[in-house]
Structure 1
Amino acid sequence: MSVIPPIFFKVANLTVGSLCLIASLSQLSYISVNFNAFLLAIFGVGLSVPIIYLEFKVPSNLYKFASFYFSFLGRGMAYILLSFLINFGGIFKILTTLLTFLLGVVYAVFQVLPQIEEPANFRGEAAAISVGDDDDDII
């Protein structure tokens, strides 16, 4: 039984995803000043959009290709990576980076706490129940 209500995860994911998307989109304007920051912003947008989208609908193929979004450790590491991608610029980006990094560390810690249960959108539709549970049985 989880001691944290599921609405916390929804609000936290939507907040971080939205802030990171705004920070990444504003970082796209660095194309003439700092091309490396521009390229990092493209990856930031690519990581931020699925975070927001997963709060409303879980696509069936996403678990197959980006399974790190469906565990606390994977999402925590994605948040930490995302915080490094968007840390160029002013105070807004610094605060967004700090919030994203701290939430990533919190999610990574949640992975090892047995009393924290994964939210419903962390379970993919085609997710296997155990490690050896495959869809096709070869005889």
Structure 2
Amino acid sequence: MSAVPPIFFKVANLTVGSLCLVASVSQLSYIAVNFNAFLLAIFGIALSAPIIYLEFKVPPNLYKFASFYFSFLGRGLAYILLSFLINFGGIFKILTTLLTFLLGVIYAIFQVLPQIEEPANFRGEAAPIAMGGDDDDDII
């Protein structure tokens, strides 16, 4: 039984994904001032858009190409990376960076806590529920 209700994960992921997407889009305006921040914003958009999309639908091929979205440790490290990508700018981006970094650390800690169950959208359609649960044993 999970000590954290599943709605917490949905709200946290939607909040962080939305805030990071808005921060990344606003960082696109730095193209004339700081081209590096502009490029980091493009990567921020590419990392934060799937976070929002995964709360509504799990694409069948995403587990194959971006399996880090389907574990607490992978998502936590992605949030920490995302917080470093969007830390240019004013107070909104600083608060968003702090929230994203904090949630990334919390998710990384959730990976080692056995009483925290992963939410349903952390399991891809092709993903095994348990480690070693692959059905590749019948390959000739």
Q: TM-score, normalised by structure 1?
A: 0.96
Residue type at the aligned position of 1:131: G
Quote the sequence identity (%).
Answer: 88
- Which AA in structure 2 matches 1:81? L
Alignment pair present for 1:75 and 2:88? no
Partner of 1:63 in structure 2? 63
Counterparts of 2:40 and 2:138, CA distance in 1: 42
- 2: CA distance, partners of 1:36 / 1:56: 32
- In 2, Cα distance between the equivalents of 1:2 and 1:59? 25
Which residue is equivalent to 1:18?
Answer: 18
Report the alpha carbon displacement of residue 130 of structure 1 after superposing the two structures with TM: 2.9
Residue 137 of structure 1 deviates from its aligned partner by 3.5
Provide closer, same or farther for how the CA distance between residues 117 and 43 of structure 1 changes in structure 2, counting only shifts above 3 A.
Answer: same
Letter in 1 for 2:139: I
Matched, 1:121 2:121: yes
Q: What is the CA deviation profile of residues 74-114 of structure 1, one whole-angstrom value per residue up to 9, with x for unaligned ones? A: 00000000000000000000000000000000000000000
CA RMSD of aligned residues (A): 1.2
Give the Å deviation of 1:118.
Answer: 0.2
Alignment-mate amino acid for residue 93 of structure 1: K
Determine the structure 1 residue equivalent to 2:92.
Answer: 92
Give the Å deviation of 1:133. 1.5
1:83 partner letter: S
In structure 1, distance between residues paired with 2:135 and 2:21: 35
Q: Which residue of 1 aligns with 2:102?
A: 102
* Secondary structure at the counterpart of residue 75 of structure 2: helix
Q: Which amino acid aligns with 2:57?
A: K
Instruction: List, as ranges, runs of 4+ consecutive aligned residues in structure 1 with deviation greater than 4 Å.
Output: none
SS at match of 1:127: coil
Shift of 1:132: 6.4
**1:30 aligned partner:** 30
Aligned equivalent of 2:131: 130
SS of the residue aligned with 2:138? coil
| Number of residue equivalences | 139
Unaligned ranges ≥5, structure 1 = none
CA distance in 2, matches of 1:9, 1:92: 22
TM-score by length of 2: 0.96
Unpaired segments ≥5 residues, structure 2: none
Q: Aligned letter for 1:3?
A: A
- In the aligned structure 1, how far is the partner of 2:17 from the partner of 2:134? 32
